[in-house]
Structure 1
Amino acid sequence: MKQLTHLFGLGANAVAATMLAAIFVTFLIQIAARYVLTEFGIQLELGWTIELNLTLWLWLVLFSCAFVLKERDHVKFDLIYSHAGPARKRVFAVVSALCIVVALVAAMPDTWDYVSFYKIKKSPTLRIRLNYIFVIYLVFAGVLILRYGWRVIDVIRGRDLSQDERDILAD
């Protein structure tokens, strides 16, 4: 199982890196068209590059947050948490994870409706159905529901705390 998780992580990193590379290449195409080709009198309409970059950026951020970043990589506001005792830290971890799960589960029906509604619209330049563009949010929300649901179970069982949290709890 650990090897499968490692391979999945490598695959997710490769997908994220590919999206970032595509953003970079598209950006270079924009720069070349605007500053190099115009010097030779060539005018190209490259509105598709902006739309592609925006779509890739949306996918990159949400995909990476769901599949690439680990718990310790996420931004946390832990001013109170870091000063609490071990028992309270566990309570904070469970309550915060439950809040995330409940909020995302509560929002899921409306999110599904929103994404489904966009099957009737297409992006202006690339003509991609907008539900294909926004479906990544459903994936992101679903993965976060599973991850934080699992976190609740692990914290209640006393497992799966990050090394930083284990060190803090040991104090």
Structure 2
Amino acid sequence: MNKIKRSFYIIRDFFEIYLPLFAFIVMFLTFIIQIIARYIFKFPLTWAYEVTVIGFSWTVILGACYAMRSRSHVKFTLIYDMLSPKKAAFIRMLGNLIILFAFVALIVPSFEYVKFMDFQSTSVFKIKLSWIFSAFIYFVFSMIGYTAVEIYEDFCTIRGKTKQSLESGEQI
């Protein structure tokens, strides 16, 4: 079981840290190369725009997964910061349930759209658009998982369980 869990974490890190990092580096270097080629050598590169758009898309989509994982994304907590911890957890849980249902509803349309985009390719590199948009499918499943964890934690808070009692294996 420990090897399966470790493999899962390695795959998750690949998609949420290393792939967006690589996409950003490629995007940034391509952007610099395009500036040099266009303004110094007066020779714009046709492929640079395509690389930067793909790199930006993958950086944003997969980077958002890591932001959700590390809980560093923006949250508007003005209302439930004024409430008691149990009431705040209840309101958070309701909001997260709405988000969870929205992402579950996105599963089938996301697969259908990616499958639909298989007939189109990028203009320069002829990369199938389904490969480019496939990052969104990982994003959907990642958001479902991270949102479900937050719902569970809020449910435990409502029931009066602390994080320490959950980690020690105490039953709800």
User: Which secondary structure state, in structure 2, belongs to the residue aligned with residue 84 of structure 1?
Assistant: coil
Separation of aligned partners in 2, 1:140 and 1:36: 39
Measured after TM superposition, the shift of residue 24 of structure 1 is 1.2
RMSD after superposition: 2.4
* Greater RCO, CA 8 A, separation 6+: 1
Kindly provide the amino acid, as one letter, of the partner of residue 88 in structure 2: K
User: Which secondary structure state, in structure 2, belongs to the residue aligned with residue 73 of structure 1?
Assistant: coil
Kindly provide the amino acid, as one letter, of the partner of residue 112 in structure 1: F
5 Å matches for 1:19-168?
Answer: 19-38=23-42, 43=43, 45-67=44-66, 69-158=68-157
Separation of aligned partners in 1, 2:33 and 2:120: 27
Q: Percent identity?
A: 24
Cα 1:114/1:10, change in 2 over 3 Å: closer
Separation of aligned partners in 2, 1:90 and 1:108: 27
Measured after TM superposition, the shift of residue 53 of structure 1 is 0.5
1:14 maps to which residue? 18
Note the alpha carbon deviations across 1:92-129, whole angstroms, 9 max, x for none. Answer: 22112111110011122112111110011111222110
TM-score normalized by the length of structure 1: 0.79
The answer to whether the Cα contact below 8 Å between 1:9 and 1:68 also exists between their aligned partners in 2 is: no
Structure 1 unaligned runs (5+)?
Answer: 161-171
The answer to whether the Cα contact below 8 Å between 1:9 and 1:67 also exists between their aligned partners in 2 is: no
TM-score normalized by the length of structure 2: 0.79
User: Which secondary structure state, in structure 1, belongs to the residue aligned with residue 143 of structure 2?
Assistant: helix
